């Protein structure tokens, strides 16, 4: 069982993604637990304050250290966490090898930033991983947290019905996935490659591998060069 505790000041942004499809089924099967924690419940005063101006001036509010520290410490009193991940555009860019590694952990906290981000002391004192989902800025870490959680949850054994299907995804083996086709075999004269209709499984596998290499060479040659990925 993998447990995600997601700390956010916008929990409603995260209810949708976990309430449907594969992420919902993973929870229903008892393979994953997702707990959303509203940062406002840990506010430092009765006004529900969780953010404040940045020392030194400048536009934008900063999520304060105290509410976040309180929430994380309460969680840590109940169990040990393998990772406390802060979603931030200046973090390490998420890729498949990272998702593979993180999917093996059991207890994960994901902290979503907002406004100008979190007080640096949160990062210094609590955070173990800082992850970005790409070189662009979102208005908060919630959508990024949903992307990260989705990429991990689908790798957890038993979550996907077809065990092999996560392994044949794009980026596993540093290759993009080959093209796929379904019925009809002929759509307005556009036909499916003959080999896929042949029933010759070894030949089909060979063709898929060749297509994957060709696609990767054409669309993402960097993946073939980048062995460390």
Contacts of residue 184, defined as CB under 8 A and 6 or more positions apart, other chains included, come to none
Is 136 marked as binding a ligand? Answer: yes
Which residues from 58-97 bind ligand ADE, rule CB under 6 A?
87-89
Looking at 136, 180, 199, 201, which residue binds ligand ADE (CB under 6 A)?
136
Is 138 marked as binding a ligand? Answer: yes
SS3 at position 88: strand
Looking at 60, 97, 134, 221, which residue binds ligand ADE (CB under 6 A)?
134
Segment (H or E) for 5 = strand 2-8
Asked if 31 touches ligand ADE (CB under 6 A), the answer is no
* Least distance in angstroms from the C-beta of 73 to ligand ADE: 23
Asked if 133 touches ligand ADE (CB under 6 A), the answer is yes
* Least distance in angstroms from the C-beta of 116 to ligand ADE: 11
Is 118 marked as binding a ligand? Answer: no
Is 134 marked as binding a ligand? Answer: yes
**Under 8 Å between Cβ of 6 and 35:** yes
Is 180 marked as binding a ligand? Answer: no
The stretch near ligand ADE (CB under 6 A) out of 101-109, 127-135, 181-189, 209-217 is 127-135
Looking at 17, 67, 113, 178, which residue binds ligand ADE (CB under 6 A)?
113
Q: How far is CA 35 from the centre of its chain?
A: 15
- Cβ atoms < 10 Å from Cβ of 190: 8
Looking at 63, 118, 144, 176, which residue binds ligand ADE (CB under 6 A)?
144
The stretch near ligand ADE (CB under 6 A) out of 50-58, 121-129, 131-139, 221-229 is 131-139
Strands 32-38 and 2-8: parallel
Asked if 17 touches ligand ADE (CB under 6 A), the answer is no
Q: Of the candidates 33, 114, 103, which has an alpha carbon nearest to the alpha carbon of residue 67?
A: 114
Looking at 61, 69, 138, 204, which residue binds ligand ADE (CB under 6 A)?
138
The stretch near ligand ADE (CB under 6 A) out of 12-20, 70-78, 128-136, 211-219 is 128-136
Is 57 marked as binding a ligand? Answer: no
**Is residue 192 packed enough to be buried (19+ CB in 10 Å), middle (13-18) or exposed (0-12)?**
middle
User: Read out DSSP for 141-199?
Assistant: SHHHHHHHHHHHHTTSTTSSSSGGGTTTSTTGGG-PPPP---S-SEETTEEPPHHHHS-
Q: How far apart (Å, rounded) are the C-alpha atoms in residues 26 and 57?
A: 45
Q: Rule CB under 6 A: which residues touch ligand ADE? A: 87-89, 113, 132-134, 136-138, 141, 144
């Amino acid at each position: 069982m993998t447990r995600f505790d997601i700390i956010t000041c916008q929990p409603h942004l995260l209810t949708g993604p976990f309430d449907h499809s594969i992420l919902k089924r993973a929870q229903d099967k008892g393979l994953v637990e997702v707990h959303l924690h509203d940062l406002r419940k840990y506010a430092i005063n009765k006004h529900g304050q969780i953010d404040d101006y940045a020392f030194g001036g400048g536009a934008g509010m900063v999520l304060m250290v105290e509410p976040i520290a309180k929430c994380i410490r309460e969680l840590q009193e109940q169990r040990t966490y393998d990772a406390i991940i802060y979603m931030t555009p200046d973090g390490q860019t998420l890729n498949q090898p990272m998702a593979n590694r993180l999917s093996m952990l059991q207890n994960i906290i994901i902290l979503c930033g907002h406004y100008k981000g979190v007080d640096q002391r949160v990062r210094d004192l609590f955070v173990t991983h800082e992850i970005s989902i790409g070189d662009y800025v979102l208005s908060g870490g919630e959508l990024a947290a949903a992307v990260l959680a989705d990429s991990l949850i689908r790798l957890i054994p038993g979550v996907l019905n077809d065990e092999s299907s996560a392994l044949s995804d794009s980026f596993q083996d540093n290759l993009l996935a080959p093209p796929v086709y379904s019925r009809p075999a002929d759509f307005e004269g556009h036909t499916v490659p003959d080999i896929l209709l042949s029933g010759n499984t070894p030949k089909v596998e060979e063709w898929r591998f060749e297509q994957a290499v060709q696609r990767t060479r054409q669309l993402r040659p960097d993946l073939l060069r980048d062995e460390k990925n």
